Amino acid sequence: MDRDGEAVEHQARVARPAARMRSALVALLGLACAFTATGQSGAEPFPSRPIRLIVPFPPGGPADVMGRLIGQCLTATLGQTIVDNRPGGGSTLGAREVARADPDGYTLLIGSAATNAIGPTLYHNIGYDPAAAFVAVAAFSSTPYVMVTGPKTAAQTVRDVIADAKAHPGKLNAGVPNGAPPHMIAVWFKDATATDIVIVPYKGAATVITDLLGGQIDLAFETTSVTLAHLRDGSIRPLGVATRERLPELPAVPTMIESGVPDFVAESWIGVLAPVGTPADIIGKLNAAINAGLQSPAIQERLKALASQARPGTPQDFAAFMTAENPKWTAMAKLSNLKPE
């Protein structure tokens, strides 16, 4: 082979690997484009797996009762929803778990005054800021509080309780779920009436009612969702409702205001929160499912049986409500001067 032929052959040998590399790069680029296009067009619709609804309190309490109803609403429209009780730290442990979850709509929180105001006020280094960690999904319900007493307590009215507590400081006691809204209400009652009532902390509302029935404690402040069945069968006695007007379900029971405690109004509100960053379209689907559930006869009947009021609305409605409601509970938490362990 002459020199010109050798030169041509050398250039061909050099060009062949470069050409193969270019071909490989083009092929890889094509695969990447195809993968991206397939991923975009084949994205799984929400939800494609069970939704986890975290209740940051033990089973049996008002948050748990409402959480399970919300779970039914979500399951009816969107598929399986798992209710997961994660109590501890005055609701902050469960709330922190949601705050740290992926913002994909699959981990949600039962929000309340405890998660948004009380827990963050009482507990330090909780690992989340409720104003920055969560986004509103939907309000669900509001439920009135009732001051109740057990069968072994002599008091027939709120005024009887106040008179007895003033005459015998430290004699009466009230059971409360530790660090929860009823705890704050009991502290508020003591402050508003200048009485010395011993507050006995419990892990949850269910055990409070058990000990009230057994006569181990004298008083409790609990929601109608927890107490109404016992009130109807006469096993515990209502003294006053923390509402502005008497309840249709308990028309003979005076309000706390009627009983001489001015402006003593409080409700247990429950709604659903998601980690901040959850896409708006997913929030919209969750909100629509909850609102649809609130329109169902089964859920309406269940809420009525608990003397609870449905709270349908937009995520923006719920966010505005929490902004207005949280300062009241923050002030109560500060008044309690509670030092959680």
Q: Give 79-91 as a DSSP string.
A: S-EEEEE---GGG
Check residue 20 and give its pLDDT: 52
Q: 103 and 163 share a domain?
A: no
Contact 179, 118 (CB under 8 A): yes
Task: Tell me if 247 is assigned to some domain.
Answer: no
Sign for the pseudo-dihedral over CA of 286, 287, 289, 293: positive
- Number of domains, the chain: 2
Task: Tell me if 292 is assigned to some domain.
Answer: yes
For residue 296, give the nearest of 76, 111, 83 by alpha carbon: 76
Task: Tell me if 180 is assigned to some domain.
Answer: yes
Given 241, 258, 283, which residue is the final one in a domain?
241
pTM: 0.80
The identity of residue 116, as a single letter, is N
Give the CATH number for residue 102: 3.40.190.150
Q: What is the number of residues in the chain?
A: 341
Check residue 341 and give its pLDDT: 58
Q: 162 and 135 share a domain?
A: no
Task: Tell me if 46 is assigned to some domain.
Answer: no
Check residue 30 and give its pLDDT: 44
Quick one: 10 exposed, middle or buried, by C-beta within 10 A (0-12, 13-18, 19+)? exposed
> Nearest 5°: phi and psi at 136?
-70, 135
Q: 62 and 119 share a domain?
A: yes
Supply the range of the domain harboring residue 222.
144-241
Q: 58 and 138 share a domain?
A: yes
Where are the alpha helices (H) located in 126-204, listed in sequence order? 130-133, 158-167, 181-193
Q: 110 and 164 share a domain?
A: no
Q: 129 and 272 share a domain?
A: yes
Q: 164 and 82 share a domain?
A: no
Check residue 21 and give its pLDDT: 47
Give the CATH number for residue 197: 3.40.190.10
Task: Tell me if 260 is assigned to some domain.
Answer: no
Check residue 27 and give its pLDDT: 44
Task: Tell me if 3 is assigned to some domain.
Answer: no
Mean pLDDT in consecutive groups of 10 residues from the start of the chain, 341 residues: 47 50 44 40 80 92 92 95 92 95 98 93 90 96 96 93 97 92 96 96 90 96 92 95 95 97 95 98 98 96 94 97 94 88 58
